[in-house]
Amino acid sequence: MTSLADDDPRPAVLRAIDQLERLAARLTPEHLDGASVLPGWETRKLISHIVGDIHRIAYVGEGGRSRDVAAMAGNIADDDWADALRRARARAAAAWADDAKLGQSYSVTWGEATGVMALRGIVMELGTHTWDLAQSVDPEADLDAELGAVALAAARQIAPADRRVPGGPFGPVQPVPAGAGIYDQLAGWLGRKV
């Protein structure tokens, strides 16, 4: 999958959303109201951000600028998060269906990027938030390791350790235990304590 994602990250994006949908289907009101691993964020805010991120990348594929759209969903019923992800997935798939979009330039949160790079960025984002959400729902969830490797490769390219700035979206790389799984490695790379 890594080589496929290098040339065309759209399948990885859709696979990441599918994995998140499966986790979201397990959310309970208790999960939603509980704390997430992101300081100051309950799980409801985290899943809202995830759905918003997917709508944001869809908007970019439709020709918009990512900063024009909040990376948060509106009011979603407690039992509708999986369906909200499914709807966002359909929008993103439609927005990026044209192969020509992969080589075009887009305005994303970190600057200008080709469609390929913008989509690699969302693979990184969704992979990381998969780990975040799993910590709330099921820390032992069996996550797609191949997809996690694609997300980690994207993270190393987009968010190299030597370009972190104080107050930026990613903290310093955190150590992970020897033999850590790919999602733990991804979380540590992007500054989460594992």
Q: Render pLDDT for 122-170 as a digit per residue (tens, 0 to 9).
A: 999 999 999 999 999 999 999 999 999 999 999 999 999 998 888 888 8
Specify whether the CB–CB gap between 174 and 19 falls below 8 A: no
Give tens-digit pLDDT for 35-84: 999 999 999 999 999 999 999 999 999 999 999 999 999 889 999 999 99
Widest Cα–Cα separation across the chain: 44
Give tens-digit pLDDT for 88-131: 999 999 999 999 999 999 999 888 999 999 999 999 999 999 99
**Full-model pTM:** 0.94
Amino acid letter, 10: R
Tokens of 101: 């979009």
**How many CA atoms does the CB half-sphere of 98 hold within 13 Å?**
10
pLDDT given for residue 14 in this prediction: 97
